Amino acid sequence: MIASFCYFVSLCSFFLIHIQLEGTVKVRVGLIVIGDEIMSGKRKDSHFPAVVEMLEKRGIRLDWAVYLADDPEKITEVLTESFRTDDIVFSCGGIGGTPDDHTRRCVAAALNVPLVLHPEAKEKINERTRDLAIEQGIAVDFSAPESVRRLRLGELPEGAGIIPNPVNKVPGFFVGTHYFLPGFPEMAHPMMEWVLETFHQAEFHRADLSEKELVVYEIPEARITPVMEEVEREFDQVRIFSLPHLAKEGRRSFIELGVRGEAAQVEAAFEKIKSELRHLNIEFEIN
């Protein structure tokens, strides 16, 4: 009963924050990936492409991403800045119980709150301990040293809510619109899906997003920069992108030039780009 009440309070706190965000400008979305194994190249990050895909299916775009080593000072610094925003932030990695897992403590430090054993997290972790005992064919012993150590995973920043883990029941957690997940993609990605479907359906397809591009040939990027600047000044709901490609044997140099953002403005901005390129006698073709 106490665990359910605490979780209800956490959810209420979240929804109050979310209601305050409704009706404002589009919420930004960020990704933080934490781990020495990522920074050293020992493991390849799979969170970034997965987040981009699951957001785009819902008509949302990722606005920023940060990669961090297992450095408590730097993690705390980044989180302190991030908590000052209203961004939706997914953080993957560092919520385990080994000495190189710092995220839970860093969140607490960034918010200046203590770590406390979350009652519902304790319940879920004890379920995991019971499951392991059954798998091993032994009697469950919640007082065993490994069982006690496992409960450290439920020591969360005071006021946090939990995110269910469908793989091994050990939960992630959230504070406001910041969501802290395991580094394991098999766990983190379904937990992200749960977060989006549970808390952020109001953000789905909130804007009719679109993207259009064309290719311009054999010119320096500096020649089309004024066109890009003019379009961005005129259309405030779009972003211009430019991807140069060097000439190779049998292929001319070219630039992929495009615009992405709110659909109606994308159409108008794209027409503006084509008009300006024709005026400058620049060769192009539409992709």
| Prediction pTM value | 0.81
CB of 217 closer than 8 Å to CB of 177: no
Q: Which fold has domain 209-286?
A: Alpha-Beta Plaits (3.30.70)
- Quote the pLDDT of residue 22: 40
DSSP 3-state of 103 = helix
The one-letter amino acid at 268: A
d(CA 228, CA 213): 13
pLDDT digits (tens, 9 = 90+) for 22-66: 434 578 999 999 999 999 999 999 999 999 999 999 989 999 999
Q: For the residues 175-180, what does the mean pLDDT come to?
A: 98
Residue for token digits 């995220």?
Answer: 103
Residues in the chain: 287
Return the residue matching tokens 């301990």. Answer: 129
206: confidence class by pLDDT, cuts 50, 70, 90: confident
pLDDT digits (tens, 9 = 90+) for 71-98: 999 999 999 999 999 999 999 999 999 9
Over residues 182-202, the pLDDT tens digits come to 999 999 999 999 999 999 999
Residue given tokens 């209601």 in the structure block = 19
Spelled out in words, what is the top-level CATH class assigned to the domain 2-203?
alpha beta
CA 206 centroid distance within chain:
18
Per the rule left: phi > 0, alpha: psi between -120 and 50, beta: everything else, 267 is alpha
Q: Is 81 exposed, middle or buried (0-12, 13-18, 19+ CB in 10 A)?
A: exposed
User: How far are the Cα atoms of 119, 123, 177 from residue 1, in angstroms, in the given order?
Assistant: 10, 11, 25
- Among residues 200, 135, 206, 112, the alpha carbon closest in space to that of 163 is found at 200
**Is 237:261 a contact under the CB 8 Å cutoff?**
yes
Q: Give the number of other Cβ atoms within 10 Å of residue 262's Cβ.
A: 18
Confidence of residue 13 (pLDDT cuts 50, 70, 90): very low
Domain ranges in the chain are 2-203, 209-286
pLDDT in tens, 235-256: 998 999 999 999 998 899 999 9
